[in-house]
Amino acid sequence: LRDNRIELVRASWHELSISVSDVSLSDEGQYTCSLFTMPVKTSKAFLTVLGVPEKPQITGFTSPVMEGERMQLTCKTSGSKPAADIRWFKNDKEVKDVKYLKEEDAVRKTFTVSSTLDFLADRSDDGAVVSCRVDHESLNSTPQIAMQVLEIHYTPLVKIISSNSWPEEGQSIILTCESKGKPVPEPVLWTKDGGELPDPERMVVNGRVLSISFLNKTDNGTYRCEAKNPIGRNSTEYVLIVH
């Protein structure tokens, strides 16, 4: 063996030891130690070198993604020997239904492995952390991880909350329109029975809140709250009955 990475550690009548620094895949193979007696005696051992996988990368993500669109995220790592294992997680919960592909580099005898996560974007995924985890025996139980935070845009979700479940004449009522969407919805629009609010002196809109004072039976009707953002619009209704 003639290589400046190989050093003689110990040489005696009983033992001959060498060390190999900066080990590479080409160091794999059969090593022979010979004792020059008559006849020559030899002992052989096969050295297996593990290929350490490169840090994984996630591709295929564009930001933002619209709700309902199909997302395909691919995680890839090269240089592993034997082939590394790839697992997907969404908010620390493992995702099982994924595709796995293994390709061997004939020259280096290492593997490039990739896995694809395929799903429809949902508003519940907004802000979720998707991670790709690479496990391999060369990593000493410390997996390599790549992460991606999802950003999903979706139409507003609208809900009306009433301050009074049994409104009576002379009382007041506050209707709050809760709207959640991404991007954040514009100020909400209040209407009554399909038209503008009929009594702006008693019916006051402040942001998402509609306050009606001194209720009377003419206030009976259907109140609609509508919210919109660049993705779309949504609305909900509340039927007011003054007792």
Q: Per DSSP, which regions of 21-172 are E strands?
A: 29-35, 41-47, 57-59, 65-66, 70-80, 85-90, 93-95, 99-105, 110-120, 129-135, 144-149, 152-162
Residue appearing with tokens 């040489």: 11
pLDDT digits (tens, 9 = 90+) for 87-96: 999 999 999 9
Distance CA 201, CA 90 (A): 51
Amino acid letter, residue 51: G
So what's the pLDDT on residue 108? 81
DSSP 209: E
The size of the chain, in residues, is 243
Consecutive 10-residue runs of the chain (243 residues): their mean pLDDT? Answer: 88 90 92 91 94 96 92 96 96 93 89 96 95 95 94 96 96 97 94 95 95 97 96 96 97
Give me the half-sphere count of Cα atoms (radius 13 Å) on the Cβ side of residue 184.
1
So what's the pLDDT on residue 39? 94
Reduced to 3 states, what is the DSSP secondary structure of residue 97? coil
Residue appearing with tokens 């933002």: 64
- Whether the bond between 187 and the residue before it is cis, its omega within 30 degrees of 0, is no
The structural domains of the chain, ordered by start, are 6-47 (no CATH), 57-150 (2.60.40.10), 154-240 (2.60.40.10)
So what's the pLDDT on residue 14? 85
So what's the pLDDT on residue 106? 82
So what's the pLDDT on residue 1? 74
So what's the pLDDT on residue 220? 97
Residue (of 98, 104, 108, 109) closest to 133 by Cα position: 98
Distance CA 41, CA 106 (A): 35
